[in-house]
Structure 1
Amino acid sequence: MSITETVGGVQDPPALSARARTVALLCLLTASFMELMDATVVNVALRTMQSDLGLSAAALQWIAAGYPLAYASGLVLGARLGDRYGRRRLFVVGLAAFGAASLACGLAADPASLVAFRFLQGLAAALMVPQVLTCIQVLYPPAQRGTAMGMFTSVIGLAAVAGPLLGGVITAGDWWGMSWRPIFLINVPIAVLAILAARAFLPESKAQVPAPIVVRSAVLLGAGLASLMVPITVGPEHGWPAWGFGCMALGVGLLAEFGRRQWTSARRGVEPMVPPAVFATRSF
């Protein structure tokens, strides 16, 4: 079943049974829980990882920071890909990539591999998570969305608390003699079940007039953030070399160019990646 939104918003929910709608919602909530939990679950396991893999201080920081950096860089692009090519499709692709990256993290044999796979895990989450809120709107009529969104908010809060707790329990328990590795491997069967549920119960939906795919802006944002993060992460370990300050200057320049593109796009009537108007909002 496929749904295309009207220009004014999301169409009426598809004709699904209450059971199918509940399973689809649980699938979306599970993915959201898994994504946020993985942002914090490694924090209490870092010292164990360090002794097991011989991680440097910089590698420890990249394992913790690489995931949210990749996630933030790809989030808007992931949402627009879902609008254009189908939210269920991107959700399933993101779930599969997240499960594969989690498996790779759990089997990583050296620091470089673990850091790289954490980045990939963050990019996979950026494909998966943006689809959740719109899929909830597709599943439920306006009168019922408040309850579903309340459940989503509760799951997000629970995941933020559960991440460090589960990380400590799993690492201290040394499940099957695998030390820290099950904190990643546990995602694999969950992702498989969520994929099966999504394919069976989650309706497909697309935007009738999708926003443009802003690859250049996404690259500028990711490169700018990375250029700032690299020297901050490795600088103290190497005595703050001159290249680090050059890298930070490059990052500032890239982010400035990113901002310029957003303002230019908005003035031309083209939907930007990040609407400049949000920066005029005091609460933002």
Structure 2
Amino acid sequence: MTDNTRTAPPSGRPPWTPPEGVSEKRAWASLAVLMVGLFMSLLDTTIVNVALPTIRDSINADEATLAWIISGYALAFGLVLIPAGRIGDSIGHKWVFFAGLALFTAASLFAGVAQDPTQLIVARVLQGLGGGIFFPPVTAFIQLLFPPTKRGKAFAILGAVLGVSSALGPIVGGLLIEAFGEQSGWRYIFFVNLPIGVAGMVAAAIVLPKLAPGVKLSLDGVGLLLLAGSLVAILVPLIQGQEEGWPLWTYLSIVAGIVLLVLFALWERRLAARGISPLVPPRLFSHAAFTGGTILALVYFAAFTSIFFTIALLWQAGLGHTALESGLVTIPFAIGNIVAASQSDRLAQKLGRGVLVLGAGMVFLGLVSLWILFLTVPGADLTNWMLLGPMLVAGLGNGFFIAPNSRFIVATVDQSEAGAASGVIGTMQRIGSAIGIAVVSSVLFAVANLGGVADEVRQKVGAALKAGTYSTPELAGDAISKTVLAAHVTDAATVAMFVSACFALVALALVFTLPRRVQLH
């Protein structure tokens, strides 16, 4: 069997050289500043999950609006990652990070004061744009500031922040709603970003080094339009289709999106052949590891980010728990992620690709365990303790997986194109999140059939009153509606978790497209 071990930089790729005038101390200080911004943006990916039921009641949001609040953020995030990376490669990543953080902070204020579903969706899209702008500089700075011997530790920190911020989102959201009340508490999940964002901007201006640009910027407007058009055409019907009953336009839109994506690839190759810098350099995909890794990033994020959406709606809308109780369910995931991420670099050096197999396998095992639990235990009997084991296993797997996976992917990328590569990887992660939420929410709301709950309750209340089970219609209605709703949402969560587990299984298979080892020193 061929060993795809990589012990030297690819042909034509210059060795890493330290940035002029940047000490190791400043490199680590810069990483701390970058992690503050990254934590805030990724926290917002899942913090809104526990607020969805209160948002629905507060501003009369329908099911499609709830999906757009989550997926619209991820979609906008993904749309700007690649151009933001290319601009950073050209003008330097410092001020790209600063600009994105400023937009994200301002959009958080807009989201907090939103008065209707449309305003909130627009604010979330603007938040996503801001997060997408300042994400590529994070991984690009790691590539540029740290030598290979230290880069693994930096990526391990990134992986820990990535997983923990996603897992802590529901907990923080639950605490804020508990503290400020269900009617207005959801607004504070956005207001909390304001002091963090301002402090991050000040720190970025002072601490981040202004590195020399690596490549000349080419404004690939056609490529950007083709890429944006393809992603929107694919994701809009996935998000909106269930609400509208999957009319013909949804299928035509998906087909058109695929066509636009093919045209985008052909256009980028044409520009590269003419010596013009494209939005996405085709040579990035000349390495099988990079290509496989980007697809893996999409599928993996579709698997693990969607579980928080499912659990939040099950725990609150289905079982009637508070937002805080819903958030507490994710604590085992967060703990497992922290523990595993701290050991991921050491295991990557020892096991190579094996650490990714271990991580993806544990995530799959955790999700399958949740699916079996929902399948066999009635919703009314589910408790936090039952979810502890599966969530801990999935969290450990996530911690083992994320940081080494990023390192395996970027190992074949030239330093001068670190921003473009991180933009591609980040785009696939965010689009994976959007696809995961879109698919899972469509499945969940379709199976739940919340519109049929009222009819079923009326029938069962009438039967119960005739049988003399309850003394008054009010008592019968209250008890039966809770039981019926719990059953409907639990059935839906069971199918949704099965879909997430399928994504995780595909991700596990795709791990084997990566090389067995990459250069670690």
TM category (shorter chain) comes to 0.7 to 0.9
SS at match of 1:181: helix
Of residues 269, 286, 290, the one that matches 1:277 is 286
- Higher relative contact order at CA 8 Å, sep ≥6: structure 1 or structure 2? 1
Pairs within 5 Å for 1:8-47: 8=14, 11-16=17-22, 20-47=26-53
- Aligned CA RMSD, in angstroms, stands at 2.6
| Larger displacement relative to structure 2 (235-244 or 154-163) | 235-244
Say if 2:183 is the partner of 1:174: no
* Alignment equivalent of 2:77, drawn from 54, 68, 71: 71
Question: Conserved in 2, the CA contact under 8 Å of 1:13 and 1:141?
Answer: no
Structure 1: 5+ residue runs without aligned partners?
A: 1-6
CA distance in 2, matches of 1:81, 1:150: 26
User: d(CA) in 1 for partners of 2:143 and 2:187?
Assistant: 36
1:261 maps to a residue whose letter is W
Label 1:128 to 1:175 Cα distance change in 2 as closer, same or farther (>3 A). Answer: farther
Matches within 5 A, 1:121-270: 121-174=127-180, 178-210=184-216, 212-268=218-274, 270=276
The one-letter amino acid of 1:55's match is A
Letter in 1 for 2:60: G
Are the aligned partners of 1:14 and 1:139 in contact in 2 as well (CA < 8 Å)?
A: no
Structure 1 distance, partners of 2:23, 2:287, is 38
| Greater shift in the superposed pair: 258-267 or 53-62 | 258-267
| SS of corresponding position for 2:211 | strand
Deviation at 1:81, TM superposition (A): 0.8
Matches within 5 A, 1:61-140: 61-140=67-146
Counterparts in 2 of 1:137 and 1:227: CA distance versus 1, 3 Å: closer
Distance 1:96 1:224 in 2: 28
Contact 1:27 1:194 in 2 (8 A): yes
Query: How far 1:209 moved relative to its partner?
Result: 2.3
Question: How many corresponding residue pairs?
Answer: 278
- TM-score by length of structure 2 reads 0.49
Letter in 1 for 2:103: A
Structure-1-length-normalised TM-score: 0.86
2-structure distance, mates of 1:10, 1:205 = 14
1:205 aligned counterpart, secondary structure: coil
* Residues in 2 aligned to 1:278 and 1:54: alpha-carbon distance in whole angstroms: 49
When residues 59 and 220 of structure 1 are mapped into structure 2, their CA distance, relative to the original with a 3 A threshold, is same
Hey, what's the Cα distance between the residues in 2 that align with 1:204 and 1:18? 15
